[in-house]
Structure formats: C-alpha cells, structure tokens
C-alpha cells in the first residue's frame, strides 16, 4: 500500500516537473531609471551651485554608476541560462534617452551584465567591453521621455486636475510649505508642482553630504517629499488617469505590447531576447500608471520595471516585476483584471484601454468656446467670399459693356506690341 502511494507521488511529481519544464522564457523587456546624479539645477539662494559638482548639473555620479553596475549583475544572475554567457549582439537591443546620465547608466549596467571573457577581452586587466547603446535627439524622443508637451488635450487635463477637490485640498494643506519655499529660495513663483524641483535639489545635496540651509528641517523635507510624490500622481493619475495614460505612458506601453505580441510567435530566425530601455523616473511612473499599477511614489534611482514573456504548451503569458529595492527580490505586479501570469491575449485586451490608436486626434481640444470661434470664423470667411464673388461678377459685367459706353476714346494707328 505504501509502495503504491510512493509510486503515485513520484508519478505526479514527474508529470508536474515536466509541465514546469515546458514553461519557457522567450523574451524580456526591462525599463529602468538612471542612477544617482547631481541636481538638475540649483535654486537662486542655494549655497551649492554647479561648480560644486564634479561634472556639473544632471550628471551621473559614481554612486549611480555602482547602482547600475549592480543592476546589470542582478540581470546577469536572473537570466543565467537564458542570455548567452558572453555578449551576443543579436540577443539584446539597448535604447536610451539622449541624456548623459541615462546613456552612462545603460553603459554601467551593460558592464555588469556582460563582463568580457575569452576572446572578448581586448585589454588585459580591464573587465569591460564596449556595447552599443542607441538613442535619438531629445527633440525627436517620443517613446521614453514623459510627459510630452505636444498635446493640447493633456494640458487641458492638467488644468482640470488643478481644479479638482483633491488638488485644492493638498494645496491648502501645504500652503505654508509652498510659501516657505518661495521666501527662502528666491524663486519668483512656486506652487505644488514647482516645489518638486527644490526637493530634488535638496535631496541630491543631502545624498552627497552637502550641508543644508537652516530652514531645511527634517519636517520640511518630509512635507516636500509628500508634495513631490503628489506631483507624480498629478502628471499621470489623480484625475482621468486612463486618458492621461493614452496621451503619455500609453505610447511606451503600446510599443512594449507590440513587441511582446511579435515575440510570442515562434520564429527560428528571431534571435532577440532582451530589450533594455534606459530613461527617467517620469518614464517609469508613466508606464506603471498606464498599467494601473503605479504606487504613487517617485521611482527611485536604478528602479527597474520588468516584463517577461513565457511560452507554455502553445499558450503565451506575461509576468511583470518591479525592482525598487536592491536588498530584496523584485515585487511581482498583477495587471488589474488578470492573473500574475497573465495570458498574452488578456494582457493585450486589458492594456488596449490605455493605448491610443490615434494620439494626434485624441490630443486635439474640442471645447464649446473653440467651436463657437470656428463657427464665427467660417461665417466671416463665407461673407467675405460672397462679397468677392459679387464684386467679381460686377467687374465682368462692366467689361462686357460697349466701348462707347465706357468713356474711352479710340486711338488710331496705335502700335500693337506682342508678348514675347
């Protein structure tokens, strides 16, 4: 009896093992924020100006380089057996925004992901090899830099957000901090959103052990942090989140979904295994918001959003993970309305609501006032056109009258000059 039970368990275990073995990872997309950096700018009364930073404003620090080197090592360990042990150019494609800090973050990450071995070592005692990172000019960046400022409807939504009860309540609650920042920083204009840049500067300085002015107490920093996170919620959520996503992060989500769908079809010629995207906190937040999984907190340095595509007995599924803490394993993310291992067809169906099919059209603003302006403009144009037609008809009729009635005298022997 015992032997039969043992045999049954072994059989079940063998079958389950085979089923698990059939679930195969086929494609990965990773999007990450750059690493630790210097402030993007200083406020007017800031005692620390650009000359106090080794490479100036907005530049990746050595701490940031180490963060991404560590992230690259994490990716190497996570995808061991999936990615080739040594760099294989057909397996990975890397794209970055056109900023020094994102380009350098990608390069530091790749140094951890692909340390050279064997023939790839080109200089003894140098554990590094050049790997291409692609980009486009910032003026042409439409995939990895948010919020995009080319959309009137999004600007209208932001204006409407600032008139919501939640926004007004937060503004009133923290009005004393906004006033404090205005008085202490020398900035002419401050509001809930602009306070974010002041917090960022102070945060960067504190991370690099630079002294803060007396007015920057722990309580002030905490309130500024709250307002900073609220700014992210304003940009990508709080009010009409899905419509904002269709006009912003949904652009990137659409590209990711398109690639996942493409890679789900078996193709012996397809060798690409990983798409790596190096960008910013707003990029990560915009994408998470478009997936409706954003926690409302600014993505930290080197935070990473992962999409894994699996094939299992003909079915295909997507698993998502968010790594915002290097001391723990990435957190599984569940797309609302789907399972953790979300079937691709369901993933495509659910995310479609956040992806615009015609963003240019959706970005247009159709307000009642503008409609009236269009109607008035058309009426004026129509009246002018009617007037011109009447004048033209009058001229034509006048030209058809007999010469004797026009008041002209016929000049005899006038020379005729032909057009050449």
Return the residue matching tokens 């009137």: 152
DSSP secondary structure code for residue 395 in this structure:
H
Asked if 195 and 176 touch (Cβ cutoff 8 Å), the reply is no
Q: Is 319 helix (H, G, I), strand (E, B) or coil?
A: strand
Q: Is 99 helix (H, G, I), strand (E, B) or coil?
A: coil
Rounded to whole angstroms, how far apart are CA atoms 92 and 236? 30
Question: Two tokens at 197?
Answer: 């840049």
In the chain the first and final C-alpha atoms are separated, in Å, by 116
Return the residue matching tokens 């409407």: 160
Alpha helices in 54-99 (DSSP H): 62-78
Residue from 229, 281, 292, 341 carrying the catalytic annotation: 281
Asked if 132 and 94 touch (Cβ cutoff 8 Å), the reply is yes
Q: Report CA dihedral (180, 183, 185, 186) to the nearest 10 degrees.
A: 160
Active site residue 34: yes
Does the N-terminal peptide bond of residue 147 adopt cis geometry, omega within 30 degrees of 0?
yes
The HSE-up count of residue 104 (CA atoms within 13 Å, CB side) is: 17
Q: How far is CA 56 from the centre of its chain?
A: 25
Question: Two tokens at 13?
Answer: 């275990």
Residue from 34, 48, 68, 280 carrying the catalytic annotation: 34
Return the residue matching tokens 């006048």: 398
Q: Which residues are part of the catalytic machinery?
A: 34, 281
């Amino acid at each position: 009896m015992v032997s039969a039970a043992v045999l049954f368990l072994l059989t079940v275990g063998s079958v389950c093992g085979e089923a698990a073995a059939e679930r195969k990872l086929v494609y990965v997309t990773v999007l990450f924020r750059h690493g630790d950096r210097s402030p993007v700018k200083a406020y007017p009364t800031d005692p620390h100006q650009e000359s106090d930073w080794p490479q100036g404003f907005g530049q990746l620090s050595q701490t940031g380089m180490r963060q991404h080197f560590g992230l690259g090592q994490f990716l190497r360990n996570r995808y061991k057996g999936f990615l080739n042990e040594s760099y294989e150019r057909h397996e990975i494609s890397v794209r970055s925004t056109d900023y020094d800090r994102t380009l350098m973050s990608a390069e530091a990450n790749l140094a951890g992901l692909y340390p050279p071995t064997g023939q790839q070592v080109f200089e003894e005692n140098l554990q590094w090899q050049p790997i291409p990172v692609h980009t486009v000019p910032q003026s042409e960046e439409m995939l990895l830099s948010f919020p995009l400022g080319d959309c009137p409807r999004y600007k209208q939504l932001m204006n409407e957000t600032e008139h919501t009860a939640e926004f007004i309540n937060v503004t009133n609650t923290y009005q004393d901090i906004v006033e404090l920042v205005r008085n202490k920083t020398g900035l002419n204009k401050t509001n809930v959103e602009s306070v974010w840049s002041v917090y960022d500067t102070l945060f960067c300085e504190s991370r690099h052990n630079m002294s803060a002015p007396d007015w920057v107490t722990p309580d002030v920093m905490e309130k500024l942090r709250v307002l900073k996170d609220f700014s992210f919620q304003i940009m990508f959520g709080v009010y009409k989140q899905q419509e904002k996503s269709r006009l912003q992060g949904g652009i990137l989500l659409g590209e990711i979904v398109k690639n996942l769908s493409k890679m789900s079809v078996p193709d012996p010629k397809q060798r690409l295994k990983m798409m790596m995207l190096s960008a910013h906190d707003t990029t990560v937040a915009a994408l998470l918001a478009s997936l409706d999984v954003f926690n409302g907190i600014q993505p930290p340095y080197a935070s990473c959003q992962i999409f894994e595509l699996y094939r299992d007995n003909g079915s295909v599924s997507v698993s998502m993970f968010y790594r915002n803490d290097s001391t723990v394993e990435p957190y599984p993310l569940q797309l609302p309305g789907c399972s953790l291992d979300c079937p691709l067809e369901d993933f495509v169906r659910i995310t479609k609501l956040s992806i615009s099919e015609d963003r240019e059209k959706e970005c247009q603003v159709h307000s009642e006032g503008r409609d009236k302006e269009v109607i008035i403009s058309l009426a004026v144009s129509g009246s002018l056109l009617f007037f011109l037609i009447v004048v033209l008809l009058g001229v034509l009729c006048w030209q058809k009258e007999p010469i004797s009635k026009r008041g002209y005298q016929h000049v005899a022997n006038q020379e005729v000059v032909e057009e050449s």
